Structures are given as structure tokens and as C-alpha cells.
Amino acid sequence: MRPIAVTQKLWIMPQPSLDEFKSLADQGFVTLVNNRPDGEDPTQPGSAAEESAARAAGLSYVHIPVTSTGISPTDIREFREAIAASPGPVVAHCRSGARAFFLWLMGDDLEHRTDDEILTVAEELHLDPKAVTARLVARRRSSIGETQ
């Protein structure tokens, strides 16, 4: 699957194969963020193999492992910082792209995005629209509470 644009700087995709890392660099990505914990699936490459392949392809590598029920404020902050620190486009992944998407959703300034725009990206990633809507509503409520 090709990476899906979330912002001008952030793209998300499901788990790429190690062979795809060179292609990602050739497409202009400069940083790869892996959101999968090691040992999640016996077929996944793992963070050490990903880091080695990323560096060999000329990509910077960041590992921020999260579970779908265990995304913390620290994880969100680290994800935002990794994107901000990258001198160019970032591609983030987990198994399906969902956790990378939710890390962005929970940490981004959503004032410049409509719900329809966000749901369109979620649809491209084949995410459950009800789950995305629920997190979006919760995120917007917390943003309102933060500004009051």
C-alpha cells in the first residue's frame, strides 16, 4: 500500500516490508516512524531490523511503540516532536496505520481541519469510521476544555 498524506509533512501507511524502505526514500521521505512494539507479530521485522534497513536506505528512524489502548500523552508528544524535528517528509506506520493515525489525531491542532477531511484520510487507511468519529469527538472536546 502506498503512503497516505495526512498533512504536507506526515504520511501514514501499514507495515512496509524492509525492501520498500529504499522506495520510500526515493519518494522523498526522510524519516520513518515505527509505532509497532517489538514482538507484536512473529512476521514483523522488528525495530532493530527496521532501523538498520532505514539507515541503509538513507532514512532517519524513530521508534515510538504504542498499543491501541495504551497511547499516552508522552507518546503523542514524542510523535509530534519526531515530525517537527524531521527536515522533510515523514512516513509513519504500525501494523495497519491506525495507531499512527490516532497518534496524529490526538496530537494535532485540528482547528484547520474539518471532520470530513479527517474522515477521508481515515477512509483511505481503511479505518473504522465509527472509531475515528468517536476519537475525533473526544479530541475536539478535550481541545475545547483546554482553551476554556
For the chain, give every domain's residue range.
4-109
- 111 burial type by CB count under 10 A (0-12 exposed, 13-18 middle, 19+ buried): exposed
> Is the CATH code 3.30.930.10 the one for domain 4-109?
no
Give the mean model confidence (pLDDT) for residues 54-82: 95
Q: Give the percent of the chain with pLDDT over 90.
A: 74
Give the mean model confidence (pLDDT) for residues 136-148: 67
pLDDT, tens only, 42-57: 999 999 999 999 999 9
pLDDT, tens only, 83-130: 999 999 999 999 999 999 999 998 877 777 888 999 999 999 999 999
pLDDT surpassing 80 at residue 144 = no
Residues whose CB is less than 8 angstroms from the CB of residue 105 and which lie 6 or more positions away in sequence, other chains included: 118, 132, 135, 136, 139
Q: What is the pLDDT of residue 143?
A: 65
- Hey, what amino acid is at 79? F
Residues whose CB is less than 8 angstroms from the CB of residue 120 and which lie 6 or more positions away in sequence, other chains included: none
